[in-house]
Structure 1
Amino acid sequence: MKETALHTSRSRSTQRLVTIPMLAAVAFILQYLEVPIPLTPSFLKLDFSTLPALIGGLMYGPIAGIIIEVLKNTLHLLFKNTDGLLIGELANVIAGASFILPAIYMQRLGLGKKGFLTGLALGTLLITIVMAIANAYVLLPAYAVLYQMPIEQLLQMFNATSIWSLVLVGIVPFNIFKGAVISLVAYPIYVKLGSRIAVRATN
């Protein structure tokens, strides 16, 4: 009996070790399929690389989801990053974690489809608030410092009069739109895979 339980535990651990890097690789590939959104700053692009992290988090817990986000952005830094800076990857990890964590926690509370929808809505709200604050106080000032330009010059590049005007007019609408679009794709996936996810989440 103990040997069977040990074998099952090892099998699940092996499955996690295989699945999490695989989802990170899928997420990395999805990052290449990014598209610009009209009326938003040019450095903001929509992609669906958050979905594998959300699926992994639903299957194996929130830490797994964050690990997938970190692995994805590590691959991005190694193979796609052109300026050698970490700001874009850091922003992506923060944004991804902000979106997926509420949905994962709501699903793990056992609230079903309505709970998951609520989690997606909370994730959209959280990513909007967190990225507004992060850009205003950390990310945009960091870009200005690393590119060795006054913050006013950086703002002029995007026709903004202040950091908060850029955040409120560009970054906030983008993240609301991004959260809504990803939610529209994530919900049907959850409905289709819900029973499998629930089984893995309890293991």
Structure 2
Amino acid sequence: MKETALHATRSTQRLVTIPMLAAVAFILQYLEFPVPMMPSFLKLDFSTLPSLIGGLMYGPMAGIIVEVLKNALHMLFKNTDGLLIGELANVAAGASFIVAAVAMQRVSQGKKGFLTGLALGTLLMSVVMALANAFFLLPAYAAISHMPMDQLLATLGADSVWSLILYGIVPFNMFKGAMLSLVAYPVYVKLATRLSPRATN
């Protein structure tokens, strides 16, 4: 009976916390800013942080749900072209970072495990976004915009898809992962004792 009540309390807490984290993430998404020497359409924000916290608390799927809810809100309230490409890219980037970071933290608990997870998350996010842009996001945006790929690349200041990816997409996501890691690590240290009895080892 006691275990049932505890499970119900945790489920209720999860149902309340996940939407709350999504709302915080949505607000943080408004605080985006360009990164010097990067393509102007790539903007940095820290809206993945609440999703990462959700993943650490309730598992990687919870973090992905926060990402999806955040981008659903973005689509409803901020998206002006209705193309969904930006939201899909944001979900893919955030989910790949969260899954790697949270999975590694759970396999190798403690600060070192989480640092390794953040590094793997940064690497995975960079690879996923490189492939996603090359084979889906950029072609989809060009098709939906009724724009030849060469024209789209010209507007982005790139000679080819892979030059844009190698000199724009990959460096941006590496930088984004590093910035997220710098903020996420001290937050994790604060939350670690609530996540696992060995989390501060």
Identify whether the pair has TM-score above 0.5, normalized to the shorter chain: yes
Q: 2-side partners of 1:50 and 1:75: how far apart?
A: 14
Aligned to 2:75: 77
Which of 115, 118, 121 lines up with 1:120 in the alignment? Answer: 118
Aligned residue in 1 for 2:56: 58
Structure 2 partner of 1:46: 44
The code of the aligned residue for 1:170 comes to G
| TM-score normalised over the length of structure 1 | 0.95
The residue aligned with 1:92 is: 90
Picking from 175, 178, 181, the partner of 1:180 is 178
- Moved runs in structure 1, 4+ residues, more than 6 A? none
Tell me the SS of whatever aligns to 1:149: coil
1:106 Cα offset (Å): 1.2
Distance in structure 2 (CA, Å) of the matches to 1:161 and 1:106: 37
Offset at 1:5?
Answer: 1.8
Matched length: 198
Alignment-derived partner of residue 12 in structure 1: 10
What secondary structure does 2:82 align onto?
coil
Q: Which residue of 2 aligns with 1:35?
A: 33
Deviation at 1:192, TM superposition (A): 1.2
2:107 match = 109
CA distance in 1, matches of 2:49, 2:196: 17
User: In structure 1, what is the equivalent of residue 21 of structure 2?
Assistant: 23
Q: Do structure 1's residue 171 and structure 2's residue 187 form an aligned pair?
A: no
Residue equivalent to 1:139: 137
Contact 1:27 1:50 in 2 (8 A): yes
Distance 1:61 1:74 in 2: 21
Q: Which amino acid aligns with 1:180?
A: A
Partner of 1:152: 150
| Contact map agreement 1:23 1:56 (CA 8 A) in 2 | yes
Question: Shift of the alpha carbon at 1:40?
Answer: 1.2
Moved more, 157-166 or 122-131: 157-166
Q: Secondary structure at the match of 2:31?
A: coil
Instruction: Specify the SS of the correspondent of 1:189.
Output: helix
C-alpha separation between the residues in 2 aligned to 1:142 and 1:153?
Answer: 14
Hey, what's the Cα distance between the residues in 2 that align with 1:134 and 1:83?
A: 20
Q: CA RMSD in A?
A: 1.2
The alpha-carbon deviation at position 198 of structure 1 amounts to 2.3
| AA partner of residue 169 (structure 1) | Y
Q: Is the 8 A contact 1:59 1:197 kept in 2?
A: yes
Residue 130 in structure 1 maps to residue 128 in structure 2: yes
**Worse-superposed segment, 154-163 or 29-38:** 154-163
Q: Secondary structure, in 3 states, of the residue corresponding to 2:196?
A: helix
Instruction: Tell me which amino acid in the other structure corresponds to 1:171.
Output: I
Distance 1:177 1:191 in 2: 22
Distance in 2, matches of 1:114 and 1:45, equals 29
- The runs of 5 or more residues in structure 1 that have no matched partner are none
Cross-structure match for 1:161: 159
